[in-house]
Structure 1
Amino acid sequence: MTKIAIIGIGDDGLQAVSPAVGERIEQAQVLLGSERALDLLPDSVAGKRVQIGSDLAELADQVRNIGDQSAVVLVLGDPMFYGLARYITDEFGKDRFEVIPHVSSMQLAFARVMESWDEAYLTNLANHSLGSVIEKVRIAERVGLFTTDTVGPDQVAQALLDKQIDYFDAYVCENLGARNERVTRGSLADIAGQSFEPLNVMILVRQRQLPDRPREAVGRRLFGNPDEVFFQSRPKYGLLTSAEVRSMALAQMDIWRDSIVWDVGAGTGSVSVEAAQLATDGAVYAIEMDPEDHQLIKANAQRFNVENVIPIQGKAPEAWEALPDPDCVFVAGGGREVCRIAEAAYPRLRDGGRMVINLASIDNLTELRQALRAHTDNVQVWMLNISRGTDQLDRLTFDALKPSFLVATTK
């Protein structure tokens, strides 16, 4: 079977490809590509033209319909750099294709601004949320961004300024390789006030000898932050899950980067916030029925600059009926209510997911353990007795925290 060529081209069409590549395109019986890519071919290219769009399932059908005909898939720029080649080769196997790259618009952009892209942070905002990208931009030296119709350079610049990240020079490279190509340079404040063509690449270059503006000192740890850095209500001050217990609970939850997490009875949101710092591409649903604590969850999420905490005001289990099934669940509290909530949450837990329950009293520990063992033999229990060292009259003493119990299970 003749291999299908995935060929990268630029706005200058066949003029910039090698004779061998040009001949491959001219002799192909089927030519697949976006409307813009196909329009770059002269009328003398006689192959059947098949326009492809963003529907990957439809694209797969179009590739299957090629059969034994000689075919070329035309992609603007480098097909392997945020192009279609990865999807097609994953779908049909690498043996059926060959990839012939062209200069990508990202390469062109860095060349236009005469900056090296060695070790630059490169990404596409079509595939990643702006919030997660900004945190990576914060510590980068150079950045290359494919923006989108909905998140343009002006919005990126303003989002950076909102996070006090103002130490980059910015370039916006529009319509690269075309006759109406334009490169705009300015501060982030300059870029935030302008509009640009949808076909653009944004380059950020850190200004020399300027330090970054780190986030407020709180939240520098991914988990186990001191209790006092969280906003707490005065009547309930000190009732949040302590840093030591919180650290062990989060470790036992096995949170991945893209995990869906439920924090049931979230209180002030200390577990929710730190879970969100671990699940950077996921979401943490902080379920709390107390209106004052519901507001504190929002305040703590803002203080720690995490945007993936979603406060849900309501009583479990009714409050989670419309939520996506979780990979990880944390439940905290006392009394038989905790047993009821844990039993209700277990069926919603995804296969392989982890649930961790923090009990403040031993009274319901046996009941909870037996309830979970009805579903699985994999139930672990810890009793945590923790004392914090303190200086008193030039002597080291220890203040004991209330004993706490953790129960963990895997579905």
Structure 2
Amino acid sequence: MIPNFNSYKEKWNVQSDDVIKPGLTAIEEALARVGNPENKLQVVHLAGTNGKGSTLTFLESIAKEHGLRVGKFMSPCILDVHDQIQVEGQAITEAEMNQVFQQILAAGLSGKLTDFELLTVAAFLHFVASNVDIALIEAGMGGLLDSTNVVTPIVSIIPSIALEHTNFLGGTIESIAHHKAGIMKPYRPVIIGDLPLEAKNIVYQEASKKHSAVLELNHQFYVEQENDGESYEYNDNGFRITKLTRTMKGAHQADNMALAITAFLEVATTIELQVSKEAIQKAVKNATILGRFEEILPFIILDGAHNPASAEKLIETIKHEFPGEQITFVIGILADKAVKEILHQFEQISDCFCFVDFNNPRAMAAQKMLELSNASRKAVLEDYVQFLQQQSESKSRTIVSGSLYLLTEVRSRFKNS
């Protein structure tokens, strides 16, 4: 369920299905009825297990610093449906969403789409109405059969591939890579991060079929830490940018930064835009994203690590940022995730866990998570707001993680309190 989306469906009497139905036929027919807005946009398309949101955020910051008007479509939401569709960093307003729904109703799309397909149509319509220079589109799930895969992008980006959504995408790295590689389009380049060998092979096979150039991290372009231990140097065939510093924590964010810079160079070439190294330096320093090692209170960190690969990155960041410190985890996870594996990863660096229930029909019960945990100090937490306030006041380092939906709820409750 997409928070606050139903209010628009009810207001405009537009029906859509809240289940996942992979496939492109329905959305292609729907977009044809509203004039194929996706074909009027310059697009960068992102798919991958982890790193999409961070790479998109770096890319958005770089594009804006070069004077481009940027639209972005992301999932899941941070607070509610509005923040999934943004122009110039501003969420779509109620009035703008109403205008979009008016078009959707007039085109007779009621009852023909799933919720996410309907939202995808809304995003394309809003971006065209807002005259964006570039639209950054994040795949919702997989790629090949995802409703966003109707675009012909300037460039595609696949930051990472790991096991996820196995009930829809298959239970092997190869099958998941097949879905992610499905976003590639003929004669359009794809930029990839550090992928497992079996995933990389699938990407290169698909690229060969589509005559798409593959730009691979640590092959066609590089990012390396400079001697000061703080800044980074980017190098793409001799195009060098030095003294790159980031606000976003974690060594993996240097890779996401490099992916974004490489993508922007492709965009700049296509739309004939002069690249400014100074603008890129400023943009990557200013780039921030909610739910990525985000300090919501002193000593309280939110991070949306919701699969084993992102849990591993979070552990690396914690070790680097807080070496030797006692960590308390507050955890809520969706039941269809690799819950046991994620918990056991976190247990490598902490023995203190609090499990919480949160408002999502797919959430695993806190008591069930407690039973799966091997930690010796563990409890089900009834009032996490009060607990986190106490942890902050006592300067006890606490990480809230497991689901982006939990982070949304935590952020909302603190905002209201």
Report if TM-score (shorter chain) is over 0.5: no
Higher relative contact order (CA 8 A, sep 6+): 2
TM (norm. structure 2) is: 0.26
TM (norm. structure 1) is: 0.26
Larger radius of gyration: 1
Q: Which protein has the bigger strand share? A: 1
Q: Which protein has the bigger helix share? A: 2
